[in-house]
Chains A and B, each alone.
Chain A
Amino acid sequence: MKLRPWFLVVVALAALGLLAAPQLILSAPRETTMGLVQKIFYYHVPSAWICFLSAFVCAAGSAMYLFKSSEAGDRLAVSAAELTVLFGSCMLVTGPLWGRKAWGVYWVWDVRLTTALLLFIIFIAYLFARRYGGPGSRKLCAGLALFGAADVPLIYFSVSIWRTIHPKTTVVSSLGRGMGIPFAFSMLTFTILYIALLEMRMALERARARVDELHIEAEDAGLEN
Chain B
Amino acid sequence: MRSIYLLLWKDVVVELRAKELVYATIFFAVVVLLIFCFAFLGGPKPTVDVAAGVLWVAIALAGTVGISRAFEREREGDTMRALLLSPVPRSALYISKLVAISLLMVIVEAVSLLLVSLLFGVTVTHFGTLVALLLLGTAGFAAVAALFGASLGRARSRDVLLPLLVYPIVVPVLIAGTRGTVALLTAADPAVAAFWLKFLLVFDAVFVSLGVWVFEPLVAGDA
What residues of chain A have their CB less than 8 Å away from a CB belonging to chain B? 66-67, 118, 121-122, 125, 128-129, 132-137, 139-140, 142-144, 146-148, 150-151, 154-155, 157-159, 161
Contacts and interface: CB of A to CB of B under 8 A. Distances in A.
Contacts of B115: none
Given A136-B153, A139-B217, A148 B169 contact: yes
A136 B222 contact: yes
A133 B218 contact: no
Contacts of A159: 175
Among B154, B172, B203, B210, residue most surrounded by chain A Cβ atoms (within 10 Å) = B172
A157 B200 CA distance: 12
Nearest to A66: B217
A38 B217 CA distance: 47
Interface of B: 144, 147-148, 151-157, 161, 164-165, 168-169, 171-172, 175-176, 179, 199, 202-203, 206-207, 210, 214, 217-218, 221-222
Contacts of A161: 179
A76 B152 CA distance: 22
A132 B176 CA distance: 32
Contacts of A66: 214, 217-218
Contacts of A125: 161, 164-165, 168
A178 to B, nearest CB: 40
B172 A158 contact: yes
Contacts of A121: 168
A140 B155 contact: yes
Nearest to B211: A147
A129 B155 CA distance: 9
A147 B157 contact: no
A136 to B, nearest CB: 5
Contact of B169 (A132, A134, A151, A157): A151
A136 B169 contact: no
Given A66-B214, A139-B218, A140-B155, A158 B168 contact: no
Contacts of B203: 154
Given A143-B147, A148-B169, A151-B172, A134 B155 contact: yes
The 5 closest A-B pairs by CB, nearest first: A134-B156, A158-B172, A66-B217, A133-B155, A154-B172
